[in-house]
Structure 1
């Protein structure tokens, strides 16, 4: 019998995270799933046999508690799919931690979780769900929360997705000696609950228009599933993929000053 593989999937209560959980579940997989909806998450857990932990990434204390739960449940993690996220109206609210929501939920909370799980990740694959929206992002290390700049939703979301790529490359620069491989991936324009907290971006996903501009949830999950099954392939370390191929990325995505600076600022903001 093959060794059991431990896979952790965030944002697994619905959408591509839930589909990935169903595809990856099996007798040789120890599966841990997280999400913010207890009812939806428990339904996926019952279907897949996964262990479910509820956490809201709009609360950093939830992320800290989640890391403690996962660390207490497993001895090692083979695959971490950082899939939790979404797009949010930046002017409508701030998180309880005082951050612009696209920044915290898409980047800062996954950054914190991944760092708190570091001791269990030797030889692991980390996949960060990013987006082609990174092309419209712009990272300003002195204004990560858009307090000085005008906070357009597309710019805030795109910036967070750019930060996913910068974080991926930060992992590649810092943790390669531990055998850790990090990849960022755009799953495609998936017809899921994405954009539910947005009026303008959500129009494509909530109306009949979605059948013209989106792909199925199953197709969207396919890159995550393939990467998880492949495992920690060093040839992929630090790459950004659009589904299965090298992606189109913002010119800031390879800037070493931003890669290191974002890591440092994120560590400061999360108290690491």
Structure 2
């Protein structure tokens, strides 16, 4: 497969990427759409005429965000729905309430490097939120995505996936010492593997799925990061939220990537294989088809209990 490149890069904004794109008649869901790059992703999609639903934990914040998007875009088809990704009941309820086709699903919400926290099932919270919640949401919405014809799933991963493969023998740190960044890295690798497997399983339904690294953006996602770590990142090439949302918007809406599926992007281009850098490229294990299949099967089994 040849590498996919576009005219856009590190500094491109979501507005630049979506300029000239018409999404009238398309329906989109953006998880975590009330904060960080989720807001700008939703704003860009709405600016192109899509109906956008912000799937959020805090519906009051979601309503404020929706009002702001409506005001800035003139598109009044921006809605809010409750979603707690770490709660299987909430995920299932969202999917069951959805009616009609869904053209774009942006799995954007996440938690990063938090202290050890477990769900009521005993699942490690970052893996449960970042991967299992989005996996359950996507599979629950599969029929709506298939009904749309040409639907796109976008999974927001991270360069942190380079920190850890998925440890299928101990996903929830029951036998190994918990380390926040390893847990985060594992969940972000899972986001990529989900796209790899969804691309294969759902190709016949006309559904494409890709993953991406949005770049470094200063948002509430870093609330658990130590002051020492933040200081160490001072020289990092940070992006604005509008720049950080651009690759999500590219994969969600741009005709430049029509039919592209099962790949990992950064800075609006398909990523190269990871080299020595801990901040760029894609790990071979994150694209491994056998690992992707095993993770899908394990995820199905966990959510069926």
Q: TM-score, normalised by structure 1?
A: 0.90
2:86 matches 1:53: no
Deviation beyond 6 Å, 4+ runs, structure 1: none
Shift in alpha-carbon separation, 1:145–1:208, aligned structure 2, 3 A: closer
> Residues of 2 paired with 1:202 and 1:81: CA distance?
32
Shift in alpha-carbon separation, 1:151–1:244, aligned structure 2, 3 A: same
Shift in alpha-carbon separation, 1:84–1:266, aligned structure 2, 3 A: same
Aligned to 2:292: 259
Report if aligned partners of 1:90, 1:101 keep a CA contact under 8 Å in 2: no
Q: Which runs of 5+ in 1 are unaligned?
A: none
Report if aligned partners of 2:250, 2:257 keep a CA contact under 8 Å in 1: no
Shift in alpha-carbon separation, 1:134–1:212, aligned structure 2, 3 A: closer
Aligned to 1:124: 151
Q: Structure 1, residues 145-195: CA drift from partner, whole Å, max 9, x if none? A: 121122211111011100001000010110111111101010000111112
- Cα RMSD for the two superposed structures: 2.3
Aligned to 2:190: 163
The CA deviation at 1:90 is 4.4
2:102 matches 1:77: yes
> Residues of 1 paired with 2:93 and 2:101: CA distance?
18
The CA deviation at 1:126 is 0.4
Aligned to 2:55: 34
The CA deviation at 1:17 is 0.5
Report if aligned partners of 1:57, 1:105 keep a CA contact under 8 Å in 2: yes
Shift in alpha-carbon separation, 1:2–1:135, aligned structure 2, 3 A: closer
Instruction: Give the alignment partner of residue 99 of structure 1, picking from 123, 126, 140.
Output: 123
Aligned to 1:220: 244
SS in 2 for 1:194: helix
2:274 matches 1:250: no
Task: Return the structure number with greater relative CO, CA threshold 8 A, min gap 6.
Answer: 2
Aligned to 1:181: 208
Shift in alpha-carbon separation, 1:250–1:216, aligned structure 2, 3 A: same
SS in 1 for 2:211: strand
Count of residue pairs the alignment pairs up: 265
Shift in alpha-carbon separation, 1:193–1:62, aligned structure 2, 3 A: same
The CA deviation at 1:54 is 1.6
Aligned to 1:63: 91
> Residues of 1 paired with 2:101 and 2:122: CA distance?
33
Shift in alpha-carbon separation, 1:106–1:169, aligned structure 2, 3 A: same
Report if aligned partners of 2:24, 2:48 keep a CA contact under 8 Å in 1: no
> Residues of 2 paired with 1:230 and 1:2: CA distance?
10
> Residues of 2 paired with 1:96 and 1:231: CA distance?
42
Q: Which runs of 5+ in 2 are unaligned?
A: 1-21, 71-75, 272-280
2:112 matches 1:87: yes
